Amino acid sequence: GSELDHNGISVYTGTIISDWGGRLELEIDRKARIWARVSRKQKISILVLSSAMGSNLREILENVCYPEIFLKVHGQP
């Protein structure tokens, strides 16, 4: 869905709910950065989440359609 942030800017969100009730909430902000929240905890970058799940940066960039989005999150130009 689409929500407004505290500045009134559109932010796009989606939620995945597992059978056991855990939630993965994804958010794309106005700078096209992707963020994730696991079970409504602190927001982290999707790259950090992917790395925590065992992927390294090279694997991630080789397997996504738009690697520049991950690089924005990672802080590279």
Domains annotated on the chain, with CATH? 2-74 (3.90.1110.10)
> Sign of the C-alpha dihedral, residues 76, 43, 13, 23?
positive
> Which residue type is seen at 11?
V
Contacts with 56 (C-beta within 8 Å, 6 or more apart), sequence order: none
Please write the tens of the pLDDT for every residue from 25-67: 998 887 878 889 988 888 888 888 888 889 888 888 888 888 8
- Distance, in Å, from the CA atom of 19 to the CA atom of 30, rounded to the nearest integer, reads 31
Q: How far apart are CA 2 and CA 16, in angstroms?
A: 15
Note the pTM of the prediction, 2 decimals: 0.67
